[in-house]
């Protein structure tokens, strides 16, 4: 290798490199970072190499680092002269033959392409590849890269890290050359200061100031250290930077050495990064051979030695003083500062430590100047930062974004949001000692100060996205477990404090925490934060402090309700399905009982858990499906339809009366206590059932003439036949529950009356009032509201309906109205302002409606209803919308485009939401919340501000669904009984069921059985039930598909 | 004070050596004053079969080592206004906790089988089962005041009792020590 | 340059030697800052964190044993926050190992015990860990009882910095940190130990003791080792 000593030899190497980047025969480069290799890139590389040699092709085959999008690996980039560079993704060894066929024929295999690069800005230089391939998106046009700004990662994935000439070809070592020729170190330090480059290791201290201190320190020997001991779980930016572009790091350090007067540099690299260590060693050797490192660099008389030390495998060695201890051969334990390393560091000499990424920013600042650098990022924190975006997003990988970019850009735009059917809940930034930021705060710009204000840190740039399946208590516990095991043990707060904190968090996740623990957790966190010796201890409590601040409810749930909503904490749930069920049905039990052919026992199990099993079996939103572990194998067990089958079989089987007697056997003796329930909807009925079972005398007040609430008056006959509901009510009547119909509480009877007449009152009024919307034309004849429309029909009243009906809305009420109107002979269009996937309605219902002939128009917001000459509706005008920014629900906000669409129609049904009777709420004198729209109750007991008055369902949650509503009724009954009787009698209500608690030897391999829809044209003709349930054989097969997650070691 | 109802005081002896009770009796002339203002309703010093309701103050000596200790501690807590852990065993678990690193079964075998010359058997009848650990009283129930010491100094006990009788919050900083 | 500087401690003006730490300055002025790891004549390590103080204008707490006093500094030794934190630190230490004071050779002469009394620690709110730890009886004259060790490293430092034998060090990390003798030898099997006993005398608790002493009998002569350490020129 020829040493570079002057401009001509420098340029010669530059040219030689360009020939490798843009060879006449074309180039194929395989992304072979650790990530690529882990995804099979090595096999791919060898297959390509064999193929090229075997066929005698002239392509230049190279290894490159990683280009960033982890979820697209393995990546291959191909270039043919005159054409753009094309990044191919998810390339497999079996694609190689076809790939080489294509390339040798001068074709780019566009079906494998992710994006193209026409020209790349390496910052220190530019490479023009070519143009063409108009169908391929440019790299920064695909969502993952949109908004990214590659300064640190300028060369990663494009040049061969093992070839110094390729680095020279893209302008490498020019900055060093310039600095050595200018021979003005102070000016360089001024430039770094002016660029306000801040330490990228997380603390964010000004690099220029640190350099200045080292330059001014008087000593024979001074050291520069690069901290590449990246130890955060889930963070791998430094690894990829080094693996992709080792010379970029070396150049930064040599410049640093020259301007600070340091004589020696040390790279402290994590030992668990063998590939990075290998490439860096190779690069050091190459740079020395070329005269770019070592003695007399570039012939300018400056010498700088660089050596590599493999880290000791301790997270705490990321702390600079511990790192120095480790380099000196001692155990990595931090020492107090002062003295600071700039005065007395390695071997007692002045030392400067910077993170890998900080060094990568040096050459670009030298070449382009500080003014260019400060154009990117925020005023206080210019430049970019590389983040590893991982967790519950659709696209993961390394992203380099300007500092100050809002969090939501990372989560939604780059990451693509949560996986289907899930919602993002929080992002944890900064590695194990960072904090968790809730989705409501995703507008937060990601910079040092703002993150610190929220109790988090930038750290090394980890970004872990979490969704509703993550338990925040468990998340906090996990991170404390990590920092606890990585604590060096030197100082008391960190060593013992974290151990005590972990013990407390373990009590939370095991459901054994006490009220005192909650306060102690907070108190310990503050003490450890303020009293610890080094950054590890000072930041370790961040995950606890932020989850306590933003997700306190989850801690309280674990503590007071012994409940883990995410279903992560195993000790707090029977099984994932039970945990997700608002009624907490023991699903594995009824499945097992039916499997053992014990239909009547299965019914007893079902009905004791859920007094309306056939109704919910038809209309429940089945959250259990989303949590079923069987879905990881094929599809979730069809739990809802099995319990519907069980209930239907009993109701129709002729032994229902005997079953009722069996249920009544479990009833507690009369207590003499009297309870009133207001509202005979699913919530009130559920509460009535349980309170009556516990021996109380129950009276239900209902303003309609019959019981059932929404089940009777809002759900159309084709979804829930009234005869099914009547069957279920039989049991409640037999329990002796009294009903007072046509009675309006607040008018015919007051709350004070109830208070004097009863020992306890439960309020469960549904959401019958339509939400007021501003829409010109709503007063017109022919404009209907969904619920009154459905209610009138269920009462068999005459409703005048036109021929062409437009339904506005995307919820279940909208779909029910549409399918009902269709059955009345109308032509129906549903208009919804967002996209189909955003519709709150049950997807099966949406599809069934479409099959029957309902048309959908998405991304359209009603603008005005147009009246005809006779005052009726003739059309509705809608504004087309596009999807704008993400709102706090994680969905994109519809934004009107201004373009108006017109739909001819004679009837408009508004199904845009319902609320409870606000006048009733205000007159009740009870404490309200949420802008006076809901009743304020204790979340754990459901008791209102008035003693012995409880509330549940829509009154406290807003419009919800049947199962959620019933869950409240069940919970209220449990708490009311405890208050009335002064004892916790609830568990005694359940009979002992003997059933197998042995994991099934054979789990059915059968696929999920679905209920059977009648043919669309047939069912659309009338109001007969649109589906038929599972057959006996199908239900039995479903029971065999259950994996029995309820069986765990030690619980049988 | 005469004419007013006497304050109901109880004492209890869990896993301890009774030294704390000795210390209580060691408060000298305060005993005379106490008798006028206090009625001793339960404990090893009086003959009362069951823990009475509505006790004002209870002094509990000893660590919680067995199921029996645990039950008594819970009963005391439920029926007492101010619960005081008296002495190191109740406060820190002290000497009884020295067996905590040994599994219970091994411990019993060592003592009652290996260590016994005759009648080698682990007692089962009428003896409450040992808990996995002997723990401080505060691990089992909420404790209002701690008087550490092995034994606690009579002066500290006297200070706490007179403060409470005078309706003041006792301040023990500098007055007590572990051990 | 004047060799004296003036700082303010808990509101009071105090003269200090230039170059001395806040801890030393306070002590010279008759104001004790609580501490367990710091000892005159030994290199300060800032490990126990009991001596943390507030300094006006600095937004975090500083260890007084390693922070130099500077002209014009205003130091607070006692505040509600500091007192609460110190109590917590003591509770943590007491919960960490098996400090059964009643049966300890150092009962009544223990720095941990007397600090608990002085700071009003009457109980430990954190769960006792009850670790199973050994006692090293192999040395003919001394005993090492890990149950009482608080990992202050005074013994490590006095042996390395004053005696020059470097018998002691800390092995393991985090909560599993343990005092260790020469790469895990027994004390009796040590090749470097001169049996000088300095480690025993500086140990603030009953972790290191002389054999033949019963409960309450072991009285440490820390100050005489301090004097020696200063003469030997251990740092500061």
Q: Mind telling me how many Å the CA of C47 is from chain A's nearest CA? A: 4
User: Left (φ > 0), alpha (ψ -120 to 50) or beta: where does A709 sit?
Assistant: left
Check CB contact under 8 Å for B179 and C130: no
Give pLDDT, residue B126: 87
Predicted confidence band of residue A916 (pLDDT cuts 50, 70, 90): confident
Structure letter (DSSP) for residue A484: H
Residue among C100, C117, C123 whose CB faces B138 most closely: C123
> Is the distance from CB of A170 to CB of A129 less than 8 angstroms?
no
Q: Establish if C177 touches chain A: CB-CB under 8 angstroms.
A: yes
Comparing CA positions, the residue from A128, A84, A130 lying closest to residue A110 is: A84
| C4-78 CATH fold | Ubiquitin-like (UB roll) (3.10.20)
Euclidean distance between the first and the last CA atom of chain C, given in angstroms as a whole number: 20
Looking at residue C233, its pLDDT comes to 61
Ranges for all domains in chain C classified under CATH 3.30.70.20: 100-232
DSSP state, residue B139: G
CA-CA distance, A830 to A810, in Å (whole number)? 8
- Give contacts of C157 with chain A, Cβ < 8 Å: none
pLDDT score of A1051: 52
CA distances from A395 to A86, A388, A886, C30 (A): 20, 11, 17, 63
Length of chain B: 179
The topology (CATH level 3) of B7-99+133-165 is Rossmann fold (3.40.50)
Q: Is A872 helix (H, G, I), strand (E, B) or coil?
A: strand
The Cβ of residue B38 has, within 10 Å, a number of other Cβ atoms equal to 17
Interface of B with C (CB under 8 A): 85, 88, 91-95, 97-98, 100-101, 133, 135-136, 138-139, 143, 146-148, 150, 172-174, 176-179
Q: Are residues A98 and A35 in the same domain?
A: yes
The 10s digit of each residue's pLDDT in A980-1031 is: 999 999 999 999 999 999 988 889 999 999 999 999 989 988 899 999 999 9
Q: Summarize the confidence of residues A105-120 as an average pLDDT.
A: 95
User: Taking all residues of chain B, what is their mean pLDDT, rounded to a whole number?
Assistant: 94
At A813 the pLDDT is 92
Per-residue model confidence (pLDDT) at position C1: 56
pLDDT category at A120 given cuts 50, 70, 90 is very high
Q: Would an 8 Å CB–CB cutoff place C125 in contact with chain B?
A: yes
Q: Does A500 lie at the interface with C, CB-CB under 8 angstroms?
A: yes
Q: Which residues of A touch C45 (CB under 8 A)?
A: 335-336, 490
pLDDT value at C236 more than 90:
no
pLDDT per residue as tens digits for the range A788-840: 999 999 998 888 888 999 999 999 999 999 999 999 999 999 999 988 988 88
A34 found inside a domain: yes
Q: Are residues A51 and A125 in the same domain?
A: yes
Give the 3-state secondary structure of A646-678: HHHHHHHCCCHHHHHHHHHHCCCCCCCCEEEEE
Asked if the Cβ–Cβ distance from B177 to C101 is below 8 Å, we say yes
- Decide if pLDDT at A421 tops 90: no
Inter-chain contact C52–A485, Cβ cutoff 8 Å? no
Q: Within a domain: residue A818?
A: yes
The answer to whether C122 contacts B148, with C-beta atoms less than 8 Å apart, is yes
CATH T-level assignment (fold) for domain C100-232? Alpha-Beta Plaits (3.30.70)
Lowest mean pLDDT among A889-903, A942-956, C34-48, C85-99: A889-903
Reported confidence tier of residue C235, pLDDT bands at 50, 70, 90: very low
A510 in contact with C, Cβ within 8 Å: no
**Contacts of residue A448, Cβ cutoff 8 Å, sequence gap at least 6:** A198, A204, A380, A381, A403, A458
Q: Tell whether C120 is within 8 A of chain B (Cβ).
A: yes
Quote the mean pLDDT of chain C: 94
**Chain C touched by A515 (CB under 8 Å):** no
Mutate to test the interface with B, among C84, C102, C113 (most CBs of B within 10 A): C102
Task: Among A329, A344, A375, identify where a domain stops.
Answer: A375
Domain co-membership, A756 together with A789: no
Which residues of chain B make contact with C123, given a CB cutoff of 8 A? 85, 91-92, 136, 138, 143, 146, 148
Whether C123 has its CB under 8 Å from any CB of chain B: the answer is: yes
Of A460-469, A482-491, A501-510, A1042-1051, the range with the lowest mean pLDDT is A1042-1051
Whether residue A54 is found in the same domain as residue A198? no
Asked whether residue A853 carries a pLDDT value surpassing 60, the answer given is yes
Q: At what angle do helices A542-550 and A552-560 cross, to 10 degrees?
A: 80
C-chain residues near B150 (CB < 8 A)? 101-102
Task: Indicate whether this complex's ipTM tops 0.95.
Answer: yes
* pLDDT attached to residue A48: 96
User: Residue A969 falls within a domain, yes or no?
Assistant: yes
Q: Are strands C4-9 and C74-76 parallel, antiparallel or unpaired?
A: parallel
- Domain harbouring A466, CATH code: 3.10.20.600
| Domain span including residue A659 | 576-663+993-1039
Q: Which residues of B touch C118 (CB under 8 A)?
A: 173-174
Domain containing residue A181: CATH number: 3.40.50.11540
CATH number of the domain residue A54 falls in: 3.40.30.10
Q: Kindly list the distances between the CA atom of residue A518 and the CA atoms of A448, A510, A522, A523, A791, in Å, as whole numbers in the listed order.
A: 29, 14, 7, 9, 48
List, for residues B74-91, the tens digit of each pLDDT value. 999 999 999 999 999 999
Share of chain A above pLDDT 90, in %: 82
Picking from A492, A498, A503, the nearest residue to C48 by CB comes out as: A492
Whole-model pTM? Answer: 0.89
CATH of the domain at A1005: 1.10.1060
Distance CA A830, CA A814 (A): 8
Residues A363 and A232 in one domain: yes
Q: Which pLDDT tens digit goes with each residue over A549-607?
A: 999 999 999 999 899 999 899 889 899 999 999 999 999 999 999 999 999 999 999 99
A116 and A208 together in one domain: no
Is the model's pLDDT at A516 over the cut of 70?
yes
Residue B134: list chain C partners with CB under 8 A: none
**Mean pLDDT value across residues B134-151:** 97
Secondary structure (3-state) at B35: helix
Per residue in A366-402, pLDDT (tens digit) is 999 999 999 999 999 999 999 999 999 999 999 999 9
Give the per-residue pLDDT at B3.
53
C116 interaction partners in chain B (CB closer than 8 Å): 177-178
Give me the pLDDT at residue A460, please.
85
CB A418 within 8 A of CB A404: no
pLDDT at A958 over 80: no
CA dihedral A409, A414, A419, A421 (to 10 degrees): 40
Q: Which residues of chain C have a CB within 8 Å of the CB of A516?
A: 125
Shared domain check, A901 and A929: no
Among partner residues C46, C150, C174, which is closest to A485 by beta-carbon distance? C174
Answer whether C107 touches B (CB < 8 Å).
Answer: yes
Q: A66-82, pLDDT tens digit by residue?
A: 999 988 999 999 999 99
3-state SS, residue A433: helix
Task: Answer yes or no: do A314 and C49 touch at CB < 8 A.
Answer: no
Distance between CA atoms of B147 and B86, rounded to whole angstroms?
5
Residues of chain C with CATH 3.10.20.740: 4-78
Q: From B133, which residue of chain C is nearest by alpha-carbon distance?
A: C130
What pLDDT is recorded for position A71?
Answer: 86
pLDDT given at position C234: 47
Whether residue C89 and residue A493 make contact (CB cut-off 8 A), yes or no, is yes
Whether residue C25 is predicted with pLDDT greater than 80 in this model: the reply is yes
Q: Which of A490, A500, A533 sits opposite C92 (nearest CB)?
A: A500
**Is residue A178 in a domain?**
yes
Task: Count CB atoms within 10 A of the CB of residue A758.
Answer: 20
pLDDT higher than 50, residue B2: no
**Could you tell me if C152 lies within 8 Å of chain A, comparing CB atoms?**
no
C175–A487 CB contact, under 8 Å: yes
Neighbours of chain C (3+ CB pairs under 8 A): A, B
Say whether C102 and B139 touch across the interface (CB within 8 A): no
Same domain, A70 and A98: yes
* Degrees, nearest 5: CA angle A470-A474-A479: 110
**Contact check, Cβ <8 Å, B178/C101:** yes
Tell me how many domains chain A contains.
Answer: 6
Is A516 near chain C, with CB under 8 Å?
Answer: yes
Nearest to A169 by CA among A62, A329, A84, A279: A62
Which residue of C100, C112, C119 is the best one to mutate when testing the B interface, meaning the one whose CB has the most B CBs within 10 A?
C100
Domain ranges of chain B: 7-99+133-165
pLDDT over 50 (residue A91): yes
Asked whether the beta carbons of residue B94 and residue C122 sit closer than 8 angstroms, the reply is no
Q: Which of C92, C121, C131, C236 is most worth mutating to test chain A (most A CB atoms within 10 A of its CB)?
A: C92
Would an 8 Å CB–CB cutoff place A336 in contact with chain C?
A: yes
Boundary of a domain, candidates A470, A492, A507: A470
Q: What are phi and psi of A873, to 5 degrees?
A: -80, 135
Q: Do C68 and A338 touch (CB under 8 A)?
A: yes
How many Cβ pairs closer than 8 A exist between chain B and C?
Answer: 77
* A498 occurs within a structural domain: no
Give the mean pLDDT of B31-44. 92
Q: Which residues pair with A900 in a beta bridge?
A: A879
Write the pLDDT tens digit of every residue in B117-141: 988 999 888 899 999 999 999 999 9
Mean pLDDT of A200-228: 94
- Mean pLDDT, rounded, of chain A: 93
Q: Which residues in chain B have their CB less than 8 angstroms from residue C122's CB? A: 91, 146-148, 172, 176
Where a domain ends, among A913, A933, A949?
Answer: A913
| Cis status of the peptide bond prior to A338, with omega within 30 of 0 | yes
Percent of chain A with pLDDT over 70: 100
């Amino acid at each position: 290798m020829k040493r570079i000593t002057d401009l001509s030899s420098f340029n010669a190497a530059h040219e030689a490199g360009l020939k490798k980047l843009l060879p006449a025969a074309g180039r194929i480069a395989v992304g072979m970072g650790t990530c690529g290799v882990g995804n099979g890139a090595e096999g791919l590389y060898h297959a390509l190499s064999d193929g090229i040699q075997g066929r005698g092709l002239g392509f230049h085959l190279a290894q490159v680092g990683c280009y960033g999008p982890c979820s697209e690996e393995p990546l291959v980039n191909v270039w043919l002269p005159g054409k753009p560079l094309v990044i191919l993704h998810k390339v497999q060894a079996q694609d190689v033959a076809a790939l080489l066929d294509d390339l040798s024929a001068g074709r780019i295999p566009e079906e494998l392409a992710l994006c193209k690069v026409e020209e790349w800005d390496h910052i220190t230089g530019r490479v023009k590849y070519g143009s063409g391939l108009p169908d391929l998106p440019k790299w920064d046009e695909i969502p993952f890269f949109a908004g990214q700004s590659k300064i640190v990662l300028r060369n990663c994935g494009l040049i061969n890290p093992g070839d110094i000439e390729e680095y020279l070809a893209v302008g490498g070592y020019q900055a060093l050359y310039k600095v050595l020729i200018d021979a003005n170190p102070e000016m360089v330090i001024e430039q770094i200061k002016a660029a306000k480059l801040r330490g990228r290791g997380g603390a964010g201290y000004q690099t220029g100031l640190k350099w200045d201190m080292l330059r001014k320190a008087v000593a024979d020997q001074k050291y520069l250290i690069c901290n590449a001991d990246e130890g955060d779980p889930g963070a791998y930016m430094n690894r990829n930077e080094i693996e992709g572009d080792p010379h970029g790091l070396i150049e930064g350090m040599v410049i640093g050495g020259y301007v600070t007067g340091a004589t020696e540099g040390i790279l402290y690299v994590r030992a668990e990064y063998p590939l990075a260590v290998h490439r860096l060693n190779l690069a050091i050797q190459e740079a020395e051979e070329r005269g770019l490192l070592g003695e007399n660099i570039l012939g300018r008389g400056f010498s700088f030695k660089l050596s590599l030390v493999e880290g000791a495998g301790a997270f705490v060695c990321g702390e600079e003083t511990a790192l120095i201890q480790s380099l000196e051969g001692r155990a990595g334990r931090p020492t107090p500062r002062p003295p600071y390393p700039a005065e007395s560091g390695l071997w007692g000499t002045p030392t400067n430590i910077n993170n890998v990424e900080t060094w990568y920013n040096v050459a670009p600042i030298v070449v382009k100047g500080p003014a260019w650098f400060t154009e990117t990022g925020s005023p206080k924190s210019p430049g970019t930062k590389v983040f590893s975006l991982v967790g519950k997003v659709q696209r993961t990988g390394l992203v380099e974004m300007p500092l100050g970019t809002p969090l939501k850009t990372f989560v939604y735009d780059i990451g693509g949001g949560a996986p289907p059917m899930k919602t993002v809940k929080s992002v944890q930034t900064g590695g194990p000692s960072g904090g968790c930021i809730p989705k409501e705060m995703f507008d937060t710009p990601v910079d040092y100060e703002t993150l610190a204000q929220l109790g988090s840190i930038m750290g090394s740039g980890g970004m872990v996205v979490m969704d509703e399946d993550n338990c925040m208590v468990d998340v906090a516990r996990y991170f404390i477990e990590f920092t606890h095991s990585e604590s060096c043990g030197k100082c008391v707060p960190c060593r013992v404090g974290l151990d005590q904190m972990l013990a407390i968090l373990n009590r939370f996740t095991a459901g054994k925490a006490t009220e005192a623990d909650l306060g102690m957790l907070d108190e310990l966190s503050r003490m450890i934060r303020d009293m610890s010796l080094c950054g590890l201890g000072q930041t370790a409590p961040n995950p606890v402090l932020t989850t306590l601040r933003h997700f306190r409810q989850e801690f309280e749930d674990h503590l007071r309700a012994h409940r883990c909503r995410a279903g992560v904490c195993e000790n707090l749930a029977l099984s994932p399905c039970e945990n997700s069920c608002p009624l907490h049905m023991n699903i594995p039990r009824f499945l097992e009982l039916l499997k053992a052919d014990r239909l009547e026992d299965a019914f007893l199990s079902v009905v004791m858990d859920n007094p309306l099993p056939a109704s919910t079996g038809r209309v429940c939103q089945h959250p259990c499906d989303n949590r079923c572990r069987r879905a990881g194998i094929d599809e979730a067990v069809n739990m809802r339809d099995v319990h519907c089958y069980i209930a239907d079989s009993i109701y129709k089987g002729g032994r229902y009366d005997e079953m009722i007697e069996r249920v009544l056997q479990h009833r507690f003796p009369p207590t003499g206590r009297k309870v009133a329930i207001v509202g005979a909807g699913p919530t009130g009925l559920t509460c009535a059932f349980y309170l009556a079972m516990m021996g109380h005398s129950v009276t239900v007040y209902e303003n309609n003439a019959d019981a059932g609430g929404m089940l009777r008056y809002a759900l159309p006959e084709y979804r829930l036949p009234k005869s099914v509901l009547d069957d279920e009510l039989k049991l409640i009547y037999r329990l002796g529950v009294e009903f007072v119909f046509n009675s309006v509480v607040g008018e015919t009877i007051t709350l004070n009356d109830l208070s004097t007449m009863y020992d306890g009152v439960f309020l469960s009024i549904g959401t019958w009032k339509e939400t007021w919307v501003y829409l010109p034309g709503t007063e017109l004849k022919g404009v209907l509201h969904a619920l009154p429309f459905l209610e009138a029909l269920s009462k068999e009243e005459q409703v005048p309906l036109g021929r062409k009906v437009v339904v506005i809305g995307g919820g279940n009420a909208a779909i029910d109205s549409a399918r009902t109107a269709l059955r009345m002979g109308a032509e129906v269009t549903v208009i919804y302002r967002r996209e189909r996937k955003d519709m709150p309605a049950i997807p099966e219902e949406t599809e069934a409606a479409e099959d029957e002939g309902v048309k959908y128009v998405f991304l359209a917001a009603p603008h005005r209803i147009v009246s005809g000459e006779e005052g009726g509706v003739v059309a509705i005008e809608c504004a087309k919308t596009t999807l704008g920014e993400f709102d706090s629900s994680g969905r994109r906000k519809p934004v009107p485009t201004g373009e108006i669409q017109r739909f001819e129609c004679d009837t408009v049904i508004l199904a845009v939401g319902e609320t409870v009777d606000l006048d009733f709420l205000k007159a009740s004198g009870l404490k309200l919340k949420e802008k006076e729209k809901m009743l304020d109750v204790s979340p754990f007991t459901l008791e209102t501000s008035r003693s012995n008055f409880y509330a549940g369902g829509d009154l406290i949650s807003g419009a919800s669904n049947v199962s959620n509503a019933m869950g409240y009724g069940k919970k209220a009954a449990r708490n009311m009984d405890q208050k009335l009787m002064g004892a916790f009698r609830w568990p005694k209500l359940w009979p002992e069921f003997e059933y197998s608690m042995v994991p099934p030897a054979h789990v059915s391999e059968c696929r999920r059985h679905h209920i059977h829809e009648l043919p669309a044209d047939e069912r659309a003709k009338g109001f007969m039930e649109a589906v038929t349930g599972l057959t006996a054989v199908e239900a039995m097969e479903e029971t065999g598909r259950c994996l029995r997650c309820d069986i765990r070691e030690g619980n049988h | 004070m005469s004419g007013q109802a006497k304050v109901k005081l109880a004492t209890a002896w869990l896993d301890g050596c009774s030294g704390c009770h000795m210390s209580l009796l060691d408060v000298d002339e305060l005993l005379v004053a106490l008798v006028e203002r206090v009625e001793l309703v339960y404990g090893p010093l009086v003959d009362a079969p069951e823990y009475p309701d509505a006790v004002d103050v209870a002094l509990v000596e000893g660590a919680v080592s067995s199921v029996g200790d645990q039950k008594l501690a819970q009963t005391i807590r439920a029926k007492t206004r101010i619960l005081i852990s008296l002495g190191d065993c109740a406060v820190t678990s002290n000497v009884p906790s020295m067996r905590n690193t040994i599994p219970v079964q091994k411990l019993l075998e060592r003592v009652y089988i290996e260590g016994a010359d005759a009648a080698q058997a682990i007692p089962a009848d009428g003896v409450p089962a040992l808990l996995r650990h002997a723990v401080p009283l505060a691990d089992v129930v909420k404790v209002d005041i701690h008087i550490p010491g092995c034994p606690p100094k009579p002066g500290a006990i006297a200070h706490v009792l007179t403060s409470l009788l005078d309706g003041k919050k006792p301040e023990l900083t500098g007055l007590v020590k572990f051990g | 340059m004047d060799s004296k500087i003036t700082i303010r401690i808990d509101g009071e003006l105090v003269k200090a030697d230039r170059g001395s730490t806040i801890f030393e300055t306070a002590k010279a002025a008759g104001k004790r800052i609580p501490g367990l790891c710091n000892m005159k004549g030994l290199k300060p390590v800032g490990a126990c964190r009991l001596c943390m103080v507030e300094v006006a204008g600095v937004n975090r707490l500083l260890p007084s044993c390693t922070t130099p006093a500077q002209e014009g500094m205003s130091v607070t030794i006692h505040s509600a926050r500091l007192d609460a934190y110190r109590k917590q630190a003591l509770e943590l230490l007491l919960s960490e190992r098996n400090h059964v004071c009643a049966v300890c050779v150092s009962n009544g002469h223990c720095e941990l015990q007397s600090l608990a009394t002085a700071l009003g620690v009457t109980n430990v709110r954190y769960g006792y860990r009850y670790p199973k730890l050994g006692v090293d009886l192999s040395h003919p004259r001394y005993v090492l009882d890990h149950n009482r060790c608080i990992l202050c490293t005074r013994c490590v430092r006095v042996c390395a910095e004053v005696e020059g034998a470097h018998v002691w060090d800390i092995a393991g990390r985090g909560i599993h940190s343990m005092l260790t003798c020469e790469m895990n030898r027994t004390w009796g099997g040590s090749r470097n130990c001169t049996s000088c006993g300095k480690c025993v005398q500086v140990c603030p608790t009953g972790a290191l003791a002389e054999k033949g002493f019963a409960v309450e009998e072991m009285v440490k002569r820390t100050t005489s080792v301090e004097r020696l350490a200063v003469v030997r020129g251990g740092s500061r």
